[in-house]
Amino acid sequence: MKKTKKNIIGLVFRCESCGQEFRIGTSGVDACLKRVSKHMHDNGHGSFVPVNPPKGLTYKAQGGAVEIVFDGKDAPGFIESIRKLVLKHRTAFIPQLKLAKV
C-alpha cells in the first residue's frame, strides 16, 4: 500500500532567472523563505516556481483570505494561477506546510 504524503518537505523551488534551486527541508518553510529572500535581495531575482508540486500543495495569501490548492493535474496552470492571484491581490502567496486533502 502506498503511503500518502502529508507535508511538503522535499518540495523544490527554482529561480526562473538563474535556475538556482531551493529545497524545503526539515527546518521548514520559514528557513527556505529566508534563503529565497536573501537570494532575491542579493541578485534582484523575483520569480520562484515549484519544480515538483505534490498533490494538495496549498498556497495561502499573506493575509490568509485567499488560498489555492494544487489538484495534481496541471502544474504549469497551477503556477500561472498563483501568478494571477499575486497580481490581483497584490500580496505574497506562501506555500503551507501541510498538504490539503484533494
**CA 9 from centre of chain:** 11
Please write the tens of the pLDDT for every residue from 30-82.
888 899 999 999 998 888 888 999 999 999 998 878 899 999 999 999 999 99
What is the H or E stretch that residue 14 is in? strand 12-15
Q: Is 8 helix (H, G, I), strand (E, B) or coil?
A: coil
In a domain, 47, yes or no: yes
- Cell 496552470 appears where? 77
Report pTM.
0.76
Whole domain around residue 50: which residue ranges? 12-95
| Total domains, the chain | 1
pLDDT at 6 over 90: no
In a domain, 40, yes or no: yes
CB 11 within 8 A of CB 23: yes
Q: What is the DSSP string of 54-65?
A: PTT-EEEETTSS
What is the H or E stretch that residue 71 is in? none
In a domain, 3, yes or no: no
